Structure formats: structure tokens, C-alpha cells
Amino acid sequence: MPEMPEHHDEGSAIASTGAGGATDLAMSEAETLEKVPGGPDGTGPDKKARSLWSDAWHDLRRNPVFIISGLIILFLVVIAIWPQLIASGNPLDCDLSKAQEGSQPGHPFGFNGQGCDVYTRTVYGARASIQVGVLATLGVTLLGSVLGGLAGFYGGAWDGFLSRITDIFFAIPVVLGGLVLLSVVSNNSVWPVIGFMVLLGWPQISRIARGSVITAKQNDYVQAARALGASNSRMLLRHITPNAVAPVIVVATIALGTYISLEATLSFLGVGLKPPTVSWGIDISSASQYIRNAPHMLLWPAGALAVTVLAFIMLGDAVRDALDPKLR
Amino acid sequence: MAETAGTTRAAGTGEAILEVRDLHKHYPLTRGILFKKQVGAVKAVDGVDFDLVAGETLGIVGESGCGKSTVAKMLVNLERPTSGTIRYKGEDITKLSPRALKAVRRNIQMVFQDPYTSLNPRMTVGDIIGEPYEIHPEVAPKGDRRRKVQDLLDVVGLNPEYINRYPHQFSGGQRQRIGIARGLALQPEVIVADEPVSALDVSVQAQVVNLLEQLQSEFSLSYVFIAHDLSIVRHISDRVGVMYLGRIVEIGTDAQIYDHPTHPYTQALLSAVPVPDPEARAHRERIILTGDVPSPANIPSGCRFRTRCWKARERCAQEVPLLAVPAVFRLTDSPARHDSACHFAEEKHVVAEEHRAVLEKRGEDGAGTPPEDGAPHLEEKPGTPPPGGSHFLRPEDDTPGTNPPPPGTP
Amino acid sequence: MLLEVRDLHVEFHTRDGVAKAVNGVDYSVDAGETLAVLGESGSGKSVTAQAVMGILDVPPGKITRGEILFQGQDLLKLKEDERRKVRGARMAMVFQDALSSLNPVLSVGDQLGEMFQVHRGMSRKDSRAKAVELMDRVRIPAAKERVGQYPHQFSGGMRQRIMIAMALALEPELIIADEPTTALDVTVQAQVMDLLAELRRELNMGLILITHDLGVVADVADKIAVMYAGRIVEQAPVHEIYKAPAHPYTKGLLESIPRLDQKGQDLYAIKGLPPNLLHIPPGCAFNPRCPMAQDVCRTDEPPLYEVTESPVPRASACHFWKECLHG
């Protein structure tokens, strides 16, 4: 390679671009042309090429928010699979004579309206609630972002068609739709509920995904990739998706909580999960009538729900930030 | 028209590497949601012809909306022309299969205007510059790519250690260098630069212009350099084309266009450029055009400039002037003998004299480099009407379309 | 003196630290005079103007020191409602982006007329007539017919004229124009600059023109203040500075303009990058990029020296202004 001309030393200093100031990596002397080993920020001259995802992972492992939310979620998943690990009782083992009683030895959370142990029910309820919340969110996000993303990317007739379909789905009232659709299924498992949520939930994500794909698509770097001869799939996967994913993650993590409480509403109306299935939603809705006399019945399952939703929102925030190099 | 276009070539250079003929890009205007009906068209590019000779720089200037960026996009196949041909080494690239197109794309690359949006913020510099190799794996074997990327960073004047950094950690000028490195990765022959320095700070623009010039001689590149900054275009270009409302109205060597413009639009454009010399303002006469550029959806009949032209007559409304050497100059030997799409083309020294005086003076005071003695392209050749006492255009006060020259405020 | 800015300091508190946007700026404008403030992005030229107008975002911005004397009265000591009376009526601002500065859902006539309704208590009908008059004044053709149109129906140049009309509405004594023609094409730029210069003469206003374009400055300014890293590095009447700059930064900017005799050669380029405002280099802020820098430049911040050899008042913040002036 030819020798670098003298005045190219602009290259030796990296500086942020204005008062709004991003990360400052400016070296003290703009004219030092020497190729300093290692950046001024202390990162050594690693020979390994880094990518967005490896950098993001590198970042996440050091992020306390990610670690805390990850541990909470891990714990929730473990008790959802093996509730007996921390609860020895049977959630369906109830004694009406103890109905609404408060905390007592061996029953730290007290009893609910049917005289069942609140602690045991809260632990066992995790399974159905987390199943519904996580799977519905996953389904909605996948379906919504694929359909919306493609509509945004290709535009034209497919976009027009999909937008009208989205409008139609938006017009369906969720509770009414649930009453109609779920009352015809007799299957007593979480699957019909999840299926129903995905069916009615995807347009919300689809709309957001479409919008952010259209925004990302207009950037010059997508044009630059096209001018290089990049295929559509490369443009979508490498250039558009990483730049369009943030709003989808935010909405999806918030939606997770909504799905867990929607399950409760549906169960309360008798079309969601049915006993003997145990879920936070069922317990919250049945306890809400006794909130004045026995608030503990509501407090524990609602608290568990709140912690779960918070953990997922924190996780989503951490992942979103890790995927944005500007915030590093 | 196609035959005469591009007859003024940079002296002593060889073959045309790009031949653009009768290029059109019309965007349909539609009405209705369900049943779309075309009600008109935005004629962004409306019949453009030029040649790009190997190794030269062709500057294209014009105001916003004149279609210069659309031409750039068609050259690199980001837009498909409505009609017309773009021949790269004789082969029409507007009608290629996707496969053949991919091969051609290697040879014609683009540098974008905005260094803030043209780099993917979520890719490292190494990934951005290395992406061309992933798309065209035949150019560089996998193990070799990292070294190639570092070499490219070195070539554009950036520290090769920065390979794992992200674009936001760089300043505008440095980002533009990254964009240039990406454009160079596939060793193209033609680079289309669309306003490559206009988003940069004044003190950084010169650095990037110099880099582009060095790369041109180092890698024998041909440039299509699109900009609205006339002085930078003059500095870097061998030939210059002036666009107005979707067409080239005048094209020639830089000296022909800047010192001997014959099209009234070019004359107005040049006279409107502020001269960085306060002494000039007292005796500088400018042609201030009235009104705005007409909408490209509704182009005037005949000559498209006639609505703002102080020379416009009956003929201009009826007859479209062709881009050719005007009859008056056809037999002369003067620098005014170049393509100009005006029925009433004539030479008017707009900036040449006083600008030269200024520049020469600064040349003496400033950098200490003496100016070329009597810059040869400014010499009057026999056959040109001898310039009178004043070289400047004096628009008659009653001519429609011009304002009287502003009183000088020394 | 119409406006006098004295020792103005402005800071921005950002996530990454304190950005010193303006570090001791002094300038003044007289009635009927045009001061051009020249600088690159981040030089503090717009922040200074925002501080003068009183439209600085506080926080994150903060005026830490200085005085802004408008006809002898320190604006920084006024209460907010008194300040508001000055703004718009006695000093007005023209922005770069006319489209985003106009409200898209109100007709231009309503927006122009609003000034008269609010500040002068005129009726809707009278203010409409005033709006037409203003549009005539900034030479918008067919003002009577177009007064009811919306901003998007005007071209860029016409919108900038409307902005100017708005600034002129209450006949202020001072106009601050922040890059008024940067977004416009050259032929339109010429029209708008001419209009501004003419109105300034006609109304005997002070004009502060903020720009990065050396050509525009040469065309209209009476005096120039060149800003770098939040300081004025050189101040002089326009004719002097172009003839012989007394600061290496000004000199570098002038030399980087492409010249005819440089064709085929490298352009002169100021090396390096504008400084990061979070970490302004010690000594002279320009020293890392300066071809003339000596040891003293890296340690001692140069004061604004009076250029004693000049017959007219001018100043340079360079230890070696003499060498620069003659070199």
C-alpha cells in the first residue's frame, strides 16, 4: 500500500461530532499519525473481528440489569417446570373452613376464598401464566414482525392487502372475540388461549414492525448495499432487521404483561383456563372481590405477576440497548 | 441529438467508459386508492446524454430538483430508467439480467452524500467495508478479507486499528472516508459521487476532495462528480455538465463552462455564486433570476428555461433547443464552441475576469504559489467577438426577468 | 451600540460531561450594520445567537457568565415576561429551515397576522391586511391571492421570504439570521440575501448573519467575527480579513477555497478535526491543527490581541498574529 500522505491525519483521532456528544474517544493530539496499538478507550488491538451480536453479548454479560432480570426469569422458568421444588403442598388441596384466613405457620401467604394455600397456588400458577405470557408474546412477535416487516419492505399490493387485514383485526373487540371464539373450544389447556391471543395480537406488532422497517429502508446504507448488488434477504437480515428491531422489542415486552392479565380476564369470564388449572390470572380475578377483607389473596399473585412483567421489560430494555452501538 | 452529445471530450483521453443516451426517468402521478389512474408524471430526468471518458472526472451541477441525483441513481442501477440507455463499455446495463447486473455493479460504485445515514449504525467499520466481499466472494478469498479491509482503511487515511469501531464513533469527514473505502473495495472503474462533501464542515471538505483526487490517480478511476458547489466541481472536474429541470443544458470542459458559458442559465448560475472577496461586491454584476424553478410535473413547452430567461422569445416557447454546438460558434475556434441547448447562445463573461483577478491576488498573498501566468484558457482566441471595456453582463434594466444590479455597498 | 455581547459563557450539561459551547464571546452590532459570525458546526455561533434571543434550551444549556446589552440594557437581568416583550418585537430571528419553522396547519396569512394580533392587539381583518402588506414587502408575487395559502404551497425560497416577513413584522431593531440561505439553491440564495440586505438598509436594522459560507459573508457583511471552539478567534472589518487574515484558522479557511491556479493540485486543507467541546485542548484550542503552533500555544490560551498595525480596529486570538498577518 502506498504511503499515506501527510494531511491524512484526520484519521488518527476519533472524535464525537458535536456538543450533543456521543462517546468521546478523542486523542489529545489530533496530529499524531502513529498507529497506536489499542484504542484510547482501552480496548486492545484484538485480532478477532467483532460483530453486532457478539458485541451485544459481550455488553449484556456485564450489564447488571440484564443479569438481575435474567436471574429472575430463570428462577420463574424453573419453578414453572418444577413447582414442587419450593412448594410441598397441593394447590387443589383446599379447606373451606380456612377461607380468607391470613398468614400462619406453614402457610406464609394465608388462604384464599376457597381455603386453598395462597403460597402453593402462587407457585403453581407460574406455569400457566408464564406459558401463556411467553408463548403468546413469541407467537405474536414472530407472526407480526414477519408479516409487517415483509409488507414494509416490499410495499405495493401486499402491503395494501395486509394493512386492510390489520385494520379488520383491530376492529374486533378482544373480550367479545374471546367469548365467541373460545366458547366453541372445549379443550381444557393453555393452547386455545395462546392461539386466540396470537390471532388477535399480531396486528399490533405488525403495524409497528412495518413502520420501523419503512423507516430503516429509507436510509442510504440500504441503498448502498443495493448498489453493491446485495440480495433482498441480505438487506433485510443485515441492514433492516437490526435497525428496526428496537421498537418491536419494547412493545413485545410490555405486551407480555398484558397477555398474562388478558388470560385472567378470559378465565374470569369462563372462557380462558378452567379449574383445575391454576394460574395467577384466575386467582387475581377471584381475589379481586375480597380486596377489602383479605387483600393478601390479591397481593401475592398480583405481586408475582408484576415481578414477572418487570423482569421481562428490563430484559427487553437491556437487549435493545445492547443492540445500539451508540449507547455503549 | 444523441450524436452530438459529448463531442467535447477531455483532450488526449481514450474511450468512453459510460455512454448515456436519451435517458428518461418519469415517476407516474396517480390518483385514487383502489383504482389508480395516472394523471401525469414527474419528469425527474427528461432526456440526458453524456459520455464519461476513462480516467476523467465529469462534474454535474444543478440546483435541487434538477434531476442530478436521479441520474446518479440510474448510473448505479438504484433506479431503472423509464427509457434510454446507459452503456458500460458498450453494453447496455439497463437491460441486464440480475446476474449480469451483479457483475457490472462491481465496476460502478457510488459514494453517498450523507455520511450519517449511508453507514449502517449497527455494523462495525470492518463489516461495512468488508460487505462488498461477502456479496462478491470471488473478489477476495475469505482469509484475505480482513487484511484487505485494513489496507482500504489505510488507503483512505484511517487507522486500520479502527476496524472494530462503529460509525457513530467517527466524525463526518471520517465517515465519508469509510464510505469511500466501501466504494473502493471491489476495485471499480467508475465512481459516482453524489454530493460527497456537501454535508461536511468547510475545513474538512478540502481533505475529502484531495483524497478523491489522489485515489483517482492511484487507481485510475473515472468519476461522475455531482454537486451544487460550483467551485469544488470546477476544481475536481475535467468536464462539466449543467443540468436544469431534468436535462443537461450545457456541457464542456471546465474552462469552457466557467469562463465561456453560452447558456443563459449557466451564466445566471455562475453569477449568483457568492465570490469570497468583499472587494468584488462593488463592481460585481449579478444576474438575479426571478421566480422559481417550474415543477418537473409541468415542464414548460419549448425551452424549459424560458420562464425565467431574460432572452426568451417566441421561438423558445415552440422549439426545444437541442444540446449541440450553437450555429454561431460552429465554425469558430473559440472556447465557446461547446454544446449548449439555447437558441440564442452567446458568450457573456460573467465571473471570469473579476474572479480571476481575485483568485490571482489571493494566490499571491496567500499560499505563495504564483498563479499560472495569464491562465491560457482565459486568453481570447481569434474569432471570438472581442470583449469590450466591460467583461461583465449588464442586464438592461428594462429586460424582463432581471433585477437591476444592486447598488454597491462598499 | 445596538447590541453588545460581553464575555458570554454557555455550557451544556450532557450525559458525557460539560460541553463548553461558548467560552467568552464579545461582539457588537450597530444599527444599520451587518455582522457576520462565521464558524463550523460546533463553533458556538448558533448557541451565542440563541442566548442573545433568549431561546436557549435551559437545561441542558446554561449561561454561566457574561452580559448581553441591548441598547444598554442587560437582557440577562430581565424577567422572563419582560424578555418576551423584547423578543419578536425588538429583535427577531430567521432560521435555516423555513419549512419546519412554519406551522403547517395555519395559513401564512394567519401566521403573519398573529404577530399583529398578539403584540399590537389588531383585529383579524386589519392584521390580514398587514400580512398582505408584509408579503408585498418581501416581494412575494400575488400576495393578495396567496395570503390564504399554506406553507407547503410555497417553494423553499418563498417560504424563507415568509420567515423574513415574519421577522420584520414588528419592525425590530435587530435581526439574527441563522444560516438563512444554507438550505436554498444558489440562484434563490442570491435573491434572499439581496432582500435581507435591502431591508436592512431601508429599515436601518442591525443584522447578525450566522453562516459558514465565506462567499456569502464577503457579499453582505460589514464586519466579521470568526468563531472556533466557542471563542472568537478573529474579528475585523470584512475587507481587512479577506485581504490579510491575522489568525491561522481564518487563513486556512480562506486558503481551502478552490482556486483556479490550483487545478490539478491538492487543495489546501486544514488538518485534523474540529475539537470536541467536552475536551477542548489546553492553550489555544486550534493548536493541534495549526501549522504555526509553538510550545506556548499548547500551554497559554491567547487573549484577543488588538492588531495594532491595522488602521481600523481588528483583533486576533493568536500569539503569532503578526507572523500570520505577514506570512
Contact status, residue A18 vs residue B170, Cβ threshold 8 Å: no
A2 and A33 assigned to the same domain = yes
Who contacts B335 (Cβ-Cβ below 8 Å, separation ≥6)?
Answer: B252, B253, B255, B256, B259, B260, B377, B381, B384
Helix, strand, coil share (%) of chain A residues, nearest 5: 65, 0, 35
B192 in Cβ contact with B75 (< 8 Å): yes
Residue C229 lies in a domain: no
Between strands C231-237 and C315-316, the pairing is: antiparallel
Is B168–A12 a contact, with Cβ atoms under 8 angstroms apart? Answer: no
Q: Are residue A165 and residue A285 in the same domain, yes or no?
A: yes
Is B312 in CB contact (< 8 Å) with chain A? no
Taking the CB of residue C136, how many other CB atoms lie within 10 A of it? 14
pLDDT of residue A238: 87
Question: Do residues B21 and B6 lie in contact, with contact meaning Cβ atoms separated by under 8 Å?
Answer: no
Contact C268 B235 (CB under 8 A): no
Backbone angles phi, psi at B240, to 5 degrees: -135, 135
Q: What cell was used for A169? A: 383485526
Task: Please tell me the total count of domains within chain B.
Answer: 1
Q: Which of B78-92, B282-296, C167-181 has the lowest mean pLDDT?
A: B282-296
Q: Which of A117-121, A237-241, B372-376, C195-199 has the lowest mean pLDDT?
A: B372-376
pLDDT of residue B34: 62
- Rounded Cα gap, residues C50 and C30, in angstroms: 19
- Asked if A18 and A141 sit in the same domain, the reply is no
Which of A274-283, B196-205, C20-29, C39-48 shows the lowest per-residue confidence on average (mean pLDDT)?
A: A274-283
Which helix or strand (DSSP H or E) is residue B87 part of?
Answer: strand B83-88
Q: Could you tell me the three cell numbers for B375? A: 491562465
Confidence check: pLDDT of B410 > 60? no
Is C117 contained in some domain? yes
Q: What is the CATH number of the domain that holds A245?
A: 1.10.3720.10
Q: Which three cell numbers stand for residue A313?
A: 421489560
Closest partner residue to C253 (CB to CB) among B202, B228, B403 is: B202
Q: What is the mean pLDDT of chain B?
A: 79
CA distance linking residue B115 with residue B102, whole number of Å: 24
Q: Are strands B57-61 and B222-227 parallel, antiparallel or unpaired?
A: parallel
B334 touches chain A (CB under 8 A): no
Q: Are residues C118 and C255 in the same domain?
A: no
pLDDT recorded at residue B275 = 80
- Chain A residues whose CB is inside 8 A of the B119 CB are 221, 224
Q: What is the pLDDT of residue C261?
A: 67
Which residue in C20, C265, C271 has the most chain A C-beta atoms within 10 A of its own C-beta, making it the best mutation to test that interface? C271
Residue B290, all three cell numbers: 426571478
Contact A13 C279 (CB under 8 A): no
* Grid cell listed for B156: 483512505
In a domain, B164, yes or no: no
Do A247 and A181 reside in the same domain of the chain? yes
Chain A CB within 8 Å of residue C291 CB: no
Which positions 171-190 of B are in contact with A (Cβ < 8 Å)? 171-174, 177, 179, 182, 186
Alpha helices per DSSP H over B284-410: 314-318, 327-330, 352-365
* Residue-level pLDDT at B2: 38
Q: Is residue C173 domain-shared with residue C298, that is, in the same domain?
A: no
Looking at the fold, whether A63 and A128 belong to one and the same domain comes out as yes
Supply the pLDDT for residue B380.
Answer: 33
Q: Which residues of B touch A328 (CB under 8 A)?
A: 166
A182 with A197, same domain: the answer is yes
Alpha helices by DSSP H, listed for chain C, are 45-53, 80-86, 98-101, 108-120, 124-137, 143-146, 156-168, 186-203, 214-220, 238-243, 248-255, 295-299, 321-326
Question: What is the helix (H) or strand (E) element at residue A80, kind and residue range?
Answer: helix A64-81
Q: Do A10 and A86 belong to one domain? A: no
Tell me how far apart the alpha carbons of residues A266 and A271 are, in angstroms, rounded to a whole number: 5
CA-based nearest residue to C252, from C264, C268, C239, C276: C268
| Residues A119 and A20 occupy one common structural domain | no
Are B271 and B393 in contact, with CB atoms under 8 Å apart? yes
Q: Give the pLDDT of residue C207.
A: 92
Q: Does C193 have pLDDT greater than 70? A: yes
Of B77, B109, B164, the CB nearest to A50: B164
pLDDT beneath 70: ranges in chain A = 1-50, 186-188, 328
Does some domain include residue B372? yes
In a shared domain, residues C87 and C211: yes
Closest CA to B308 of B261, B252, B245: B245
Weakest-pLDDT range from A108-117, B244-253, C54-63: A108-117
Q: Is residue C227, in this structure, part of any structural domain at all? A: no
Nearest CA distance, A8 vs chain B (angstrom): 5
Cell of B408: 454597491
| Nearest one of A13, A15, A22 to A326, comparing CA atoms | A22
Both A183 and A234 in one domain: the answer is yes
Say whether both C216 and C265 belong to one domain: no
DSSP C217: H
Q: Which residues of C touch B66 (CB under 8 A)?
A: none
- Residue B274 included in any domain: yes
Chosen domain end from C186, C221, C256: C221
Confidence of residue C1 (pLDDT cuts 50, 70, 90): confident
Angle between helices A118-154 and A156-171 (to 10 degrees): 150
Check residue B33 and give its pLDDT: 64
Q: Name the residue among B190, B276, B182 with its Cα closest to residue B232.
A: B276
* Nearest chain C residue to A7, by CA: C271
Query: Is residue A149 located within the same domain as residue A39?
Result: no
Do C300 and C260 lie in a common domain? Answer: yes
Helix C156-168, helix C124-137: angle, nearest 10: 120
Mean pLDDT of B245-259: 92
Where in the sequence is the domain holding B358, given as residue range(s)? 260-378
* C226 inside domain: no
Residue C273 pLDDT exceeds 50: yes
**CATH number of the CATH domain containing C127:** 3.40.50.300
Neighbours of chain B (3+ CB pairs under 8 A): A, C
Task: Supply the pLDDT for residue B393.
Answer: 36
Cα angle vertex A83, ends A82, A85, to 5°?
75
Instruction: Report CB contact under 8 Å: C219, B279.
Output: no
Q: Across the interface, which of A13, A18, A23 has its CB nearest the CB of C42? A: A18
* CB spacing of B159 vs A11 below 8 angstroms: yes
Sequence length of chain A is 328
Whether the link from the prior residue into A276 is cis, omega within 30° of 0, is yes
Q: How distant, in Å, are the alpha carbons of A178, A202, A301, B275 from that of A264?
A: 12, 20, 11, 74
Q: How far apart are CA A52 and CA B124, in angstroms?
A: 7
B237/B260 Cα distance (integer angstroms): 16
A90 or B193, higher pLDDT: B193
Instruction: Please answer whether residues B280 and B265 qualify as being in contact, where contact means their C-beta atoms are separated by less than 8 angstroms.
Output: no
Residue that finishes a domain, picked among C187, C221, C255: C221
Cell numbers 415517476 correspond to: B27
| B302, part of any domain | yes
Structural domain includes residue B273: yes
Residue B47 neighbours by CB under 8 Å, 6+ apart: B1, B22, B23, B24, B84, B246, B247
Please report, for residues B257, C94, C110, C152, C159, the alpha-carbon distance to residue C101 in angstroms, rounded to integers and kept in the order given.
37, 9, 14, 12, 9
Residue B183's pLDDT band (cuts 50, 70, 90):
very high
End-to-end CA distance of chain A: 33
DSSP A204-250: HHHHHHHHHHHHHHTSHHHHHHHHTT--HHHIIIIIIHHHHHHHHHH
Alpha helices per DSSP H over B28-169: 68-75, 98-105, 125-135, 145-155
The CA-based diameter of chain A, rounded to the nearest angstrom, is: 90
Per-residue pLDDT tens digits for B15-48: 889 999 999 999 888 776 666 777 788 899 999 9
Q: For residues B334 and B381, give the distance between their C-alpha atoms in angstroms, rounded to a whole number.
A: 6
The verdict on C180 and C39 lying in the same domain is yes
C-alpha to C-alpha distances, B181 to A46, B154, B170, nearest whole angstrom: 21, 9, 14
Do B207 and A10 contact (CB within 8 A), yes or no? yes
Sort out which chain A residues have CB atoms less than 8 A from B117's CB and list them: 219-221
Same domain for C90 and C149?
yes
Domain with C101 in it: 3-221
C10 DSSP β-pair partners: C22, C63
Q: Angle at the Cα of C45 (from C42 to C51), degrees rounded to 5?
A: 110
Domain count of the fold of chain A: 2
Biggest CA-to-CA distance, chain B: 72
Nearest CB neighbour to A21, from listed C14, C266, C289? C14
pLDDT in tens, C229-266: 999 999 999 888 888 899 999 999 888 888 766 677 78
What is the C-alpha to C-alpha distance for residues A69 and A253, in angstroms, rounded to an integer?
12
Q: Are residues C104 and C198 in the same domain?
A: yes
Within a domain: residue C242?
no
Of B64, B286, B375, the CB nearest to C260: B375
Residue B377 has pLDDT above 60, yes or no: no
Calculate mean pLDDT across residues B292-296.
82
Sheet arrangement for strand B37-53: B37-53, B16-31, B83-88, B91-92
Interchain contact, A19 vs C15, CB within 8 Å: no
Range of the domain at A282: 52-327
For residues C16 and C7, the answer to whether their CB atoms sit within 8 Å is: no
**Contact at CB, A30 and C272, closer than 8 angstroms:** yes
Q: Residue B227: closest CA among chain C residues belongs to which residue? A: C185
* pLDDT range class, residue B381, cuts 50, 70, 90: very low
pLDDT by residue (tens digit) across C155-190? 888 888 888 888 888 888 999 999 888 777 887 888
- The C-alpha atoms of residue C272 and residue A28 are separated, in whole angstroms, by 12
Span B163-176, average pLDDT: 88
- Whether residue A293 is found in the same domain as residue A249: yes
Give the pLDDT confidence score for residue C308 in this predicted structure: 79
A194 and A274 in a single domain? The answer is: yes
Q: How many CB atoms lie within 10 A of CB A199?
A: 16
Give the span between the Cα atoms of B407 and B401, in whole angstroms: 18
